[in-house]
Chain A
Amino acid sequence: MARHEEELARELRRRGYSRRDVLRIGLQLGLGAASMGMLLAACGSSEQAAEPAAEPAAEPATESIFDINSGNSGSWPKSSVADPGSKVEISVGHTWDAVFFERQLQFDKLFMERHPNIVVKAENTPWGEFRQKYTAAAAGNALPDLLYTQFSWAQETIRSGMYIALDDYIAKEADFNFDDFTKPSLVSYQYDGKLWGIPYDEGPGNLYYNKDIFDAAGEAYPDDTWDLEKLKQVAIKLTSGEGPNKIFGLGELPSPGDSLMAPNYLFPFGAQYLSEPKEDQCLINTPEGVAAMEWWEELRTKGAVPSPADLQNVAWPAFQFGKIAMTLQGSWATPPIAAGSKFNWDIAKWPKGPKAHTTFSAGSAYMITRDSKNPDAAWIYMNEYLSTAGQTYMWASTGRGSPSRLSAWPAYLGSEFAPPGAKNVEEAMSKGIGTHDIIDQPTGPRVTQAAGPIWDLVVAGQKSVKEALDEVFAAVDPIVAENRG
Chain B
Amino acid sequence: MSTSSGISHQKSLLGLRNRAIAWKVITYFLLITLSVSFVLPFMWMVSTSLKQSQDVFTYPPSFFPNSFEWQNYIKGWNVLPFDTFLNNSLIVTFSNVIGNLISCSLVAYGFARLKGRGRDILFLLLLATLMIPREVTIIPRFLMFSWFGMTNTLWPLVLPAWFGYAFFIFLLRQFFMGIPLDLDNAARIDGANNWQILTQVIIPLSQPALASVAIFAFIGNWSNLLDPLIYLRSTELYTLALGLNLFRGQNFTQFNLLMAVSIITLIPVLLVFFFSQKLFVQGVSLTGMGGR
Interface centre among A42, A45, A51, A333 (most CB of B within 10 A): A42
- Output the nearest chain B residue to A58 by Cβ-Cβ distance: B235
Q: Is B199's CB under 8 angstroms from A317's CB? A: no
- A21's partner among B95, B189, B282, B286 (CB-CB below 8 A) is B282
Which residues of chain B have C-beta atoms less than 8 A from A3's C-beta?
186, 189-190
Specify which of B225, B249, B253, B283 is in contact with A18 (CB 8 Å cutoff). Answer: B283
Known: A47-B95, A50-B157, A52-B153. A98 touches B246 (CB 8 A): yes
Determine if B133 is an interface residue (Cβ-Cβ < 8 Å).
Answer: no
- When distances are taken between beta carbons in the complex, the residues of chain A under 8 Å from B152 are 52
Chain A residues within an 8 Å CB radius of B189: 3-4
The answer to the question of B79 belonging to the interface, with a C-beta cut-off of 8 Å to chain A, is yes
Stretch with Cβ within 8 A of B (4 or more), from A122-130, A292-300, A475-483: A122-130
A23, B190: Cα distance in complex, Å: 20
The A-contacting residues of B in range 52-110, CB under 8 angstroms, are 53-60, 75, 78-81, 84, 88, 91-92, 94-95, 97-98, 101
Contact B139 A53 (CB under 8 A): no
Closest-CB distance, B56 to chain A (whole angstroms): 7
Q: How many residue-residue contacts, CB under 8 A, span A and B?
A: 220
A234 to B254, CA, bound (A): 33
Any A CB within 8 A of the CB of B126: no
Question: A88 interface residue, CB < 8 Å from B?
Answer: no
Q: B92 is contacted by which of A29, A50, A91 (Cβ under 8 Å)?
A: A50
* Minimum CB–CB distance for B279 against chain A, Å: 6
How far does the Cβ of A88 sit from chain B's closest Cβ, in whole Å? 17
Q: Is A8 within 8 A of B75, CB to CB?
A: no
Assess the A50–B279 pair: CB atoms within 8 A. no
- By beta carbon, the residue of chain B nearest A59 is B81
> A4-B192, A128-B245 in contact; A335/B252 too (CB < 8 A)?
yes
Flag whether B138 is at the interface (Cβ < 8 A).
yes
List of B residues within 8 angstroms of A216 by Cβ: none
CB-contact partner of B95 in A39, A50, A124, A127, under 8 A: A50
Which of B53, B97, B139, B187 contacts A139 (CB under 8 A)? Answer: B139
Q: Which of B9-17, B34-42, B111-119, B202-210 contacts A (4 or more CB under 8 A)?
A: B202-210
The smallest C-beta distance from A203 to any residue of chain B, in angstroms, reads 10
Q: How far is the CA of A288 from the CA of B95 in the complex (A)?
A: 64
Q: A42-B211, A53-B237 known; A101 and B246 CB under 8 Å?
A: yes
Those of A125-139 within 8 Å (CB) of chain B: 125-129, 132-133, 135-137, 139
Interface string of A109-121 (1 = CB under 8 A from B): 0000000000001
Where chain B touches its partner, the secondary structure class is helix
B19 within 8 A of A: no
Asked if B167 is at the interface of the complex by the 8 Å CB criterion, the answer is no
Please tell me if the beta carbons of A32 and B230 are within 8 angstroms of each other in the complex: no
Inter-chain contact A342/B54, CB cutoff 8 Å: yes
Per the bound structure, the CA–CA distance linking A377 and B187 in Å amounts to: 70
- What number of A residues sit within 8 Å (CB to CB) of B? 86
The yes or no answer to B32 lying at the interface (CB within 8 A) is no
Distance in Å: Cβ of B291 to nearest Cβ of chain A: 15
Residues of B within 8 A of A96 (CB): 249
Let me know if B123 is at the binding interface, CB within 8 A. no
B4 touches A (CB below 8 Å) = no
Partner of B138, one of A61, A136, A144: A136
B254 and A97 contact, CB distance less than 8 A: yes
A137 to B94, CA, bound (A): 28
B interface, CB within 8 angstroms of A:
53-60, 75, 78-81, 84, 88, 91-92, 94-95, 97-98, 101, 135, 138-139, 142-143, 146, 151-155, 157-158, 180, 182-183, 186-190, 192, 196, 199-201, 203-205, 210-211, 214, 225-226, 229-230, 233-237, 242, 245-254, 257, 276, 279, 282-284, 286
28 contacts between A and B (CB under 8 A): A4-B188, A4-B189, A4-B201, A8-B200, A33-B199, A35-B200, A39-B203, A42-B276, A47-B95, A52-B153, A53-B234, A55-B234, A61-B78, A61-B79, A99-B257, A123-B235, A126-B246, A129-B225, A132-B135, A132-B229, A140-B139, A140-B151, A321-B59, A322-B58, A323-B59, A330-B251, A340-B54, A342-B55
